[in-house]
Amino acid sequence: MKSEKVTNEDAAAFRRRYDDACAAAHALDLVGERWALLVMRELMTGPKRFSDLRAGLPGISANVLTQRLEGLEAVGVVERRTLPPPASTRVYALTPWGLEAEPIFQALGRWAVRSPLHDPTAPFSTASFVLSLRTMFAATRAAGRSGRVGFRVGRESYLAVIGPDGLDLQPAEDLATADVVLTGEARSLAAAIYGGQPWAELERAGAVTITGDRGVADWLATLFPLPPKVEAG
């Protein structure tokens, strides 16, 4: 019934657009709907299935996720893929242009992390954690030293390569080349990296497992400083 009356997808995607030539306003036409940017955030670290997206987006309902994926696909930000057999699963991925939206998340995150109302105890998806590391890395703190840190969060794993060119943090199946591998929930890893909680404490609590060079883990926890909070309103 809906598809009978709508002549093209653009009309559906732009039901309520801003009438504004400003490119930032256009960005909000494209990805300003509720949940749209968070769907993109989940896809920034790689293709995901429908249910993986739901898992990383606490509170989204299935129909809204469907609508957002359709809308993002219509404007060229997301594409559907079907994995080759034997998986044959349908996944959603960002297009190359969608991938270029990462600076938007960095700007939003850097700004909002100063908010006095920010609640860091809420659910924290793996994609958020990975993006936050890429956002908050302070190259000046690394001071020429280099290292390789593996992360295992849930079923996903990532490798962070810190060197003279900064931080390169990407999904990686093989963490054998890492100096140290940190295993745990995103929230626990964040507690050490952002909250200053000692690794040993998290290990005792069973929240984190460290394999390899603990010195590198301690060093890592000094590389992601948070800016000071704004005075509460």
Partner DNA sequence: CTGTATCCGTGTTGATACTG
Partner DNA sequence: CAGTATCAACACGGATACAG
| Binding interface with DNA (CB under 7 A) | 1-2, 15-16, 33-35, 49-52, 59-64, 66-67, 69, 89-91
Query: What CA–CA distances, in Å, run from 187 to 47, 100, 219, 222?
Result: 22, 26, 19, 17
Q: Three-state SS for 132?
A: helix
| Per-residue binding letters, 115-154, with a copy of itself (x by CB under 8 A) | xxxxxxxxxxx--x--xx----------------------
Among 89, 97, 146, 209, binds a copy of itself (CB under 8 A): 97
Strand 208-212, strand 180-184: pairing = antiparallel
| Closer residue to DNA in complex, CB, 67/211 | 67
- By beta-carbon proximity to DNA, the closer residue of 16 and 228 is 16
Write the DSSP assignment of 145-207 as a string of letters: --EEEEEEETTEEEEEEEETTEEEEEE-S--TT-SEEEEE-HHHHHHHHTT---HHHHHHTTS
Q: How far apart are CA 136 and CA 126, in angstroms?
A: 15
Q: Tell me if 103 contacts a copy of itself by CB under 8 A.
A: yes
DSSP percent split of the chain into helix, strand, coil, nearest 5: 40, 20, 40
- Per rule CB under 8 A, is residue 75 in the interface with a copy of itself? yes
Residue 216 C-beta: closest distance to a copy of itself, Å = 25
Residues that bind a copy of itself (CB under 8 A): 10, 16, 18-30, 32, 34, 37-38, 41, 57-59, 74-76, 97, 100-101, 103-125, 128, 131-132, 187, 190, 230, 232-233
